[in-house]
Chain A
Amino acid sequence: MSLTSTLLIGKSGLTSYQAAIEVTGENISNVNTDGYTRQKVVLENVTPTTSNGFSLGTGVKLSSVERCYDALMQQQLVTASSTSGYDSTVSTVLQEIEPSFNELTSDGLGSAITDFFQSWQDLSTNASGTAERQAVLSQAQVMCDYFNSMSTTLSDTITAQNTSLTTLTEDINDKLANIATLNNQIKLTEQVSGNANELKDQRDLLVKELAEQMGVKYTENSDGTTDVYVEDSSTSPATSYYLVQGNDSGSLSFSGSGDVGITDVSGNTTTVDSDIYTSEGGGTLWATLQLRDTIIPSYQAQLDTLASSVITQVNNLQESGYDIDGTQNSTLAFFSGSSASDIAVSISDTDKIAAADSADSAPGGNANALAIADLESNFTTAYSTMVSQVGSDVSQAETLETQDEAYSKQLETLRTSNSGVSLDEELTNLVMYQRSYQACAKIITTATEMLDTALAMVN
């Protein structure tokens, strides 16, 4: 054991602590970086040598820079992202639709329907009155306008989903390509036993963000890469479509309407449908498709059913009744159209409104007007039910979104607890490593002085 080896021990300390301070610096500067995983230096003593019959160490070395990463936590975060992506998209879109159905603070379709049928009540009290007849026509017009505008709102919302699908699929494709690129870089870095910690952080963050946009599964490979895939569970065994495998990436395709296609890394194709997403964990992509194809169309269908039964029932009575001159206009419909989008008033002559139920009772007979007025309750009840259904859908979506937020917050806290940078900890480490560095420097000065003493003896 020579003094030189003491010098070398001091030197190994200086190098190691310098690296430790570098890592601490990296941690501190990334304290606010999304997806950053705290890194930890692992120090290890260098293989001891035997000196004077004793085994003595020969200094310290940096064994590795570890990433404080929890694979299970990452898995949970990714799954939670998919659920939260789905729920928040549904909640946002439904909240946009809700004001159209809000009868509580302003008059809407519901009161227009009531007003229309009540104008027939007014007509029944004075069946030959021109003013009453005119009122029936204007209330009918107001009701048609409400039907039309609600139908437009719903179909506009459907169109808007197509627009967001276009940008969404482009964004997803970018992410898939980026994940593949990062996989490649990670693999190359690890092959030369380099440290790809930061690249892995970026890749994992991308996978998490991707999962929010479309529900995916992933596997972590031993070479540091991550494969991303979706599973078609309708076949047995389930077919996997790999969107990223090593440095290859597949892609999604969307033509502005219709299905979203998937092309996997080997060129196999499928579409995004209920075979792939059986639950609600399909992220924004599946939520947007569900909104476009199922949720909003179901409201539209209800509205159309309501409009078409108003059309049919009022027309039937109008056509079987008698107008002010006692004429039966069996081909003159009151409303034209067949759904909420095209319902319109087709009568323009107030005299043609059939208030009487027989030729004899014209012009003052009101039996038919009463019969039409009595239709009211069928429609207002149906509409109130529809409004509260929309309300309960929105409220459910909001509750789910709130739950997801709370759950994500919980998971994020757990993740930070393991992987997050604590400034207090890093500052403490900084002081610790600095002191150690100073101490190692002291070893070197001491050894130098000893060397000087030894050399002076020679001189």
Chain B
Amino acid sequence: MRVTANSTAYSALYNLQQGRKLLDSITEKIASGLNVNRPSDDPVATNLILTTNNRLKNIEQYSSNVTKTNTFLNVTSTALQGISDTLTQAKSLVDTITNGSSDATTRENVVSQLTSLREQLVDYGNTDYQGQYVFSGSSTSTKPFSRTVGDATYSGNTTVNSIEIDSSSTEDMNITGDRVLTSTSGVNILSTIDNLISAVSSNDTSAIQAGAKDLETGFDQVTNLQTEVASRLTRLESVSSMLSTNKSTLENIISNTQTADTTTLAVELSLQETAYEASLSATSKILGLSLLDYM
């Protein structure tokens, strides 16, 4: 095969170009810190990276949902604690008068204390968070309970909002007020207090005793709700730690596929540099050769 000076020159140019391309791609990886700089660099890895990034974003969203739900449930828990404390006060107050009292002043005193405890219960029941009533179901703009003695109705609705805390896994966010102060299946605490107020006023001993018993049941009812909220909070905590474990696993995948290994790349770069320099120097020597120099 005849080899001409021009074909040597073309080959040299082609090979130098190939070397330069390799150098360029290594430099790009080092500079950007990424292994895959465009989808065509590695279509399969691209799909993995995009899917993983998307899952990471979802996990961040779920974590944010968990945090928000957590705050909301803490507000709920505080209100329930307040209700439970108020009920304890009401119980000990009623205990002082279980057998009635002939003294009208004592009775009046108890009635006025019961009335203010009722107001306190309603205030806890009307707790709001970010301008929205916590116990009114999804009628967040409607005040669920009334401070008027005798009005023991619930104005909210029974909708329970659930929040996604992981893909296809939800947690209930709110406790509706009808389960707290105006239960229809258990004890309606507000009407119990209303009844107690009228029983104490009329010194109706049996009604007072019945009311005291209802208060006890009502107290247990609230304690159960507190336990429910506490267990939701526990679940959120475990979900939250699971989410962060998942997050670090996914971040590992990203770092394995997408983050450039600078050490390896640096070694590759220096190898490639040596090869490129060698071909440059060989090329310059060969291209300089000509019969003309010897004629």
Chain A residues with CB under 8 Å of chain B are 31-32, 95, 98-99, 101-105, 110-111, 114, 118, 121-122, 124-129, 356, 358, 360-367, 370, 373-374, 376-377, 380-381, 383-385, 387-395, 398, 405, 409, 412-414, 416-418, 420-425, 427-428, 431
Contacts and interface: CB of A to CB of B under 8 A. Distances in A.
Interface stretch (B49-57, B102-110, B223-231): B49-57
B17 to A, nearest CB: 9
Contact of A102 (B4, B39, B167): B39
A356 B40 contact: no
Contact of B292 (A395, A414, A427): A427
A364 B132 contact: yes
Contacts of A362: 138-139
A56 B159 CA distance: 123
Interface in B43-102: 43-44, 46-47, 49-51, 53-54, 57-58, 61, 64-65, 68-69, 72
Contact of B54 (A384, A391, A414, A421): A384
User: What does DSSP make chain A's interface, helix, strand, loop or mixed?
Assistant: helix
B161 A127 contact: yes
Contacts of A122: 61, 64
B141 interface: yes
B5 interface: yes
Contacts of A427: 291-292, 295
9 contacts: A98-B38, A105-B37, A125-B64, A363-B140, A370-B170, A373-B164, A387-B39, A409-B14, A417-B2
Given A394-B40, A416-B2, 5 more contacts: A104-B39, A111-B53, A122-B61, A356-B138, A389-B43
B130 interface: yes
Interface size class of B (residues with CB under 8 A): 35 or more
Contact of B2 (A363, A376, A418): A418
Contacts of A361: 137-138, 157, 159
B267 interface: no
Interface of B: 1-7, 10-11, 14, 32, 34, 36-44, 46-47, 49-51, 53-54, 57-58, 61, 64-65, 68-69, 72, 130, 132, 136-141, 157, 159, 161-164, 167, 170, 173, 258, 290-292, 295
Given A105-B34, A364-B139, A395-B40, A421 B161 contact: no
Nearest to A107: B53
Contact of A104 (B5, B46, B58, B163): B46
B139 A413 contact: no
A383 B39 CA distance: 13
A128 B128 CA distance: 13
Contacts of A104: 34, 36-39, 46, 49-50, 258
A64 B242 CA distance: 88
Given A363-B140, A364-B139, A365-B159, A385 B47 contact: yes
Nearest to B64: A122
Contacts of A425: 2, 4
Given A104-B38, A421-B6, A423-B4, A111 B57 contact: yes
Contact of B137 (A364, A380, A391): A364
B10 A360 contact: no
Contact of B159 (A364, A383, A395): A364
B4 A421 contact: yes
A126 B64 CA distance: 12
Contacts of B170: 370
Contacts of B58: 114, 118, 376
Contacts of A367: 161-162
For the complex of A and B, list the 3 residue pairs with the smallest distance between their C-beta atoms, beginning with the closest: A391-B39, A364-B138, A394-B40
Contact of A388 (B50, B161, B163): B50
